[in-house]
Amino acid sequence: MILGQDMAARNLPLEKIPDEDLPGDEKFREKRLEMVEMQVRRRGISSSGVLAAMREVPRHEFVPLEDREMAYADKPLPIGNGQTISQPLIVAVMASALELTGIERVLDVGTGSGYNTAILSHLAQDVFSIEWHTKLAEEAQERLKSLGYENVHVIAADGAEGWPEDSLFDAISVAAAVPAIPPPLLEQLKEGGRLVIPVGSIDTQELLQVIRYPGGDVQQALCPCRFVPLIGRYGFSMAPER
């Protein structure tokens, strides 16, 4: 069922159909709509584009098969190689802070399973996504292709170095923690562009929005957060191999 506008406006409880009475795809669709309403919209995310994208992208396709029943839970989930798919609310906060209109070229650092990449593909013209772990990058590229996302490009590389052969970008999203903002990412951000990135220690970070202006960058703290650490030249460590 689709949540009616009147019910959403009044913040009434969602009517629930027992999961066992629903076919597989419809069951996940119900959980997805409930996730967006309860975990995202009611917590202050108002961007119609972000809400629509999160209602559309099948999050259960981006988690391991054994965790599909938990795909729409209010928490991050492991996806292998020590990486995670972020909590839905954090994905929404980051996407909203990029302030996308649909015509942008976006750099997505930390592809993971490709869920955030898929969300961004609904909000921008082109998405260039970088993942340190080759296995995750290859799996994400195949997954995104199989689900019909044609405006995304995925490579395995050091995300903090950016995508210099294809810069500049209107927006950059980073889904891994850094001790300080990597200079190459700022260099590849257009004037007026937005960078959203978690900065701090390995254990605790602040999610920042950075906007480039001719007279200097302007930073705004969005919320406390905890991401997996970035690996690479400007991250917390260098892995022996990708």
Query: Pairing state of beta strands 169-174 and 105-109?
Result: parallel
Per the structure block, which two tokens stand in for 98?
Answer: 């990029």
Active-site entry in 47, 86, 113, 129: 86
Using CA atoms, how far residue 199 sits from 15, 118, 169, 195, 236, in Å, is 40, 24, 20, 12, 11
Which stretches of the chain are DSSP H helices? 5-10, 24-35, 48-56, 88-97, 115-123, 134-146, 183-187
Q: Which residues does residue 192 pair with via DSSP β-bridges, in sequence order?
A: none
- Coil, helix or strand for 225? strand
H/E element, 104: none
Q: Which residues are registered as beta bridge partners of 229?
A: 177
Examine the residue annotation and report whether 129 is marked as an active-site residue of this protein: no
């066992």: which residue's tokens?
20
Q: What are the catalytic residues?
A: 86
